Every structure is written in structure tokens, then in C-alpha cells.
Amino acid sequence: MTLQDGSRSNTGIATAPVAPTRPSQQEKPTTQRGWRTRGALVAAARELFEEKGFRDTRISDIAERSGTSYGTFYHYFETKDDVLHELFSVVAGEMFTASQTTGTVGDDAITKIEAANRQYFNAAARNARLIAVIDEMAIRDDQFRTLKLQIRDLFLRRNEAGIRHLQRTGDVDPSLDPTIAAAALGGMIESFTQMWFIHGVRFDEEAAITTLTRLWSQALGLK
């Protein structure tokens, strides 16, 4: 969830997370057929990573599931790490976008927090199993850990910008440390959705969103 002030670029458009390009990644396709084949490989890899885990998935499994060949995989990717890296970027972008409120949401901060929580919950539910794979790799692999922290930092910086905005408007105590508050409140939502959608600790959805929104709002002192 993000309390959006809008962390934005100089053009006024919210900045989405973009993962660093892996130098080992093969060139992108130049034909529609090539894009379809590459897309089939990525979709098959995602299914298998979610079903079997990253380490137990073989490149031959991905080729078989996608209806292609072993050699075809290497035409588009050098390693299965490259595929996970791409999936990581896609999921992070979706989660980042989902945490933004739209122009149809009311102007008050609490309404925006509730709307962003709801959108984030929906995105987390769709991507929970792959997020679990990514989290496992982030623990084991420095490259994925660095990428996860870089993307997480984008969420936290935007949360921080939102809190600073509310401090400037007089809605939040100016003595509150916005960096720590953003990390603590963002971590609450992240941990809660992981326990729910990855580990199966379930609650009533409406009650959960309402409660988390109240905790966010009360922590910031919003009326």
C-alpha cells in the first residue's frame, strides 16, 4: 500500500520501478512469432516456478511446458535466472501500479489509503506464489536481494513523500520521522499480505482492509 503524494518525475508522471537490465540477457525478438514464443517460455517458467520452486525447475521442463525445444530457450534466455529476473520486474511493476490511487478516489488521505490497500491486496493475491519464489531467491542470491531492496525502496520513498506532504499540510505531526514511519507502515502491509496469500493465514477481507486502514491513519494521526 502506498500513501500517494505522488512521487513523480519532472514530467509529473508517477515513476514505476524499472529493474536493471541483466547484461547476460539475449536480444529481444523482432517478429510477432518470436514474441509469442518468448512469451510462452516466460509463462511456462512462471507456472513451473510456482508449482515446483525455482531450484527444482529445469530448463528442459520450461521448454516442454511451453511446447518449444531446449535450444529455443537458449535463443531467448541464457539462464533461468534471466527469466525469473524478468518475472520479478513484471510483478514489481504491477504491485507498484496497484498501490497507486486513481483520479476517481476522493481527495481525503484516509480514502486514498483505503483504496490503495484494496488495490494492493488484489495484486498481492494474483502474484503471491511467485512473490514467494522471489523472496526465497532474495535470501539466497545477492543479485536478487539487491533487486528486491531496490524495488522496495521505490515503494518506501513514495510512502515517505506522501507523509511529508501531509506534514506540510498540517495533517500529520511534523515531528514524526517520515522515513521510519514509511518503512514501518509499509512493512506492516507487506508482512500481512505475505502471511495471508503465501502462508494461508486468512481473515475477512473487508475487515482486514478496514483495520489496516485505521492502523495506518491512526499511526499518522489522521482524523
Quickly state the pLDDT bin for 25 (edges 50, 70, 90). low
- CA 189 to CA 16: how far, in whole Å? 19
Task: Give 66-108 pLDDT, tens digit per residue.
Answer: 999 999 999 999 999 999 988 988 888 787 777 665 554 457 8
- CA 220 to CA 223: how far, in whole Å? 9
Architecture of domain 78-220: Orthogonal Bundle (1.10)
DSSP sequence for 118-184: HHHHHHHHHHHHHHHHHHHHHHH-HHHHHHHHHHHHHHHHHHHHHHHHHHHTTSS-TTS-HHHHHHH
Task: Give 103-119 pLDDT, tens digit per residue.
Answer: 544 578 999 899 888 98
Residue 6: predicted pLDDT: 43
Task: Give 38-75 pLDDT, tens digit per residue.
Answer: 999 999 999 999 999 999 999 999 999 999 999 999 99
